[in-house]
């Protein structure tokens, strides 16, 4: 029986040495440290940074990064703000605007 010829691949192996490693996940806090930050910042100022509406703890707000992490913002208290959440909340509007510019 005749042997089938194999096709040569059309794609070459990617050179990954030119890619810089993603470091956002390394510096982002999670778990109880994040919850502690949420409570501390909310106690300092429980009002939405955009519209000024009083927010409820813990489900009435989102802890938002003023400069998004994917745009080079740092995961620090100084880069965080309280934004109201919900369908018409300021957090949703800001996220939508950030993604449009991305």
Q: What is the pLDDT of residues 32-84, one digit of tens each?
A: 999 999 999 999 999 999 999 999 999 999 999 999 888 889 999 999 999 99
pLDDT at 5 over 70: yes
Q: What band does 26 get if pLDDT is binned at 50, 70 and 90?
A: low
Burial of 90 (0-12, 13-18, 19+ CB in 10 A): buried
The pLDDT assigned to 61 comes to 97
Confidence label for 20 from pLDDT (cuts 50, 70 and 90): low
| Overall pTM > 0.85 | no
Query: For the chain, which domains are there?
Result: 30-101 (3.40.1800.10)
Cα gap 68→71, rounded to integer Å: 5
């Amino acid at each position: 029986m005749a042997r089938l010829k194999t096709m040569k691949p059309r794609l070459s192996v990617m050179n990954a040495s030119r890619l810089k490693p993603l470091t956002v996940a390394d510096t982002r806090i999670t778990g109880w440290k994040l919850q502690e930050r949420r409570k501390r910042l909310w106690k300092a100022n429980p009002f939405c940074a955009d519209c000024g509406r009083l927010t409820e703890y813990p489900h009435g707000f989102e802890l938002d990064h003023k400069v998004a992490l994917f745009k080079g913002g740092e995961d620090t208290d100084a880069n965080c703000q309280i934004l109201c959440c919900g369908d018409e909340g300021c957090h949703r509007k800001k996220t939508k605007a950030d993604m449009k510019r991305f």
